Amino acid sequence: MILRVRAEGEKVRNDIIDAIGDALRAADIEMRLRVPVDSGELFNSIQASPVVFRPGGLGGGGFYEAELSAGEGVEHTAWVTEGTGVHGPGGQRIYPKRGNVLSFQKRGERRKVVPSVAGQEPQDEWITAAQVIANSILEQRISRI
């Protein structure tokens, strides 16, 4: 998620930098509260950048932006956010690569042995919720500048 705003004038610039920073911090908190946690790798991969100025091209301009990212270097990020099996990009049940059955055990449950599984549905509400919070804060703050 990237938050980007253009500004002119020192007071407006400072207000926009503060607004982006506040939106980023709130989105970071929301994302950390909602991220699916199993190994903790996704939670630990959430990173917020500082607010930076990106100059414009030959025509001038430019904008301030900050980025909130998650999942970099985490192998299972796509499985969590896009889903797997029938719920994922492939749209197929998951079958064993070797042998005839899959064997797994969820926390607190008995071991299961099955010929295939449907997979898991995408879990991306933690990203969407962070975007909604950031956009809401920016909209409120920018409207008062």
Tokens of 35: 């991220």
3-class state of residue 85 by DSSP: helix
Same domain assignment for residues 52 and 106: no
Residues 110, 50 within the same domain: no
Same domain, 102 and 135: no
Q: Is residue 43 located within the same domain as residue 31?
A: yes
Measured between alpha carbons, how far is 106 from 66 in angstroms, rounded to an integer? Answer: 38
- Token match 């002119």: residue? 8
Q: Which amino acid is at 2?
A: I
Residue-wise pLDDT tens for the chain (145 aa)? 777 776 667 888 889 999 999 999 999 999 999 999 888 999 999 999 999 988 877 777 788 899 999 999 999 999 999 999 999 999 999 999 999 999 999 889 999 999 999 999 999 999 999 999 999 999 999 888 8
- Domain containing 48 equals 2-83+122-143
Encoded tokens for 41? 């790798």
Residues 12 and 48 in one domain: yes
Residues 137 and 88 reside in one and the same domain: no
Same domain assignment for residues 74 and 19: yes
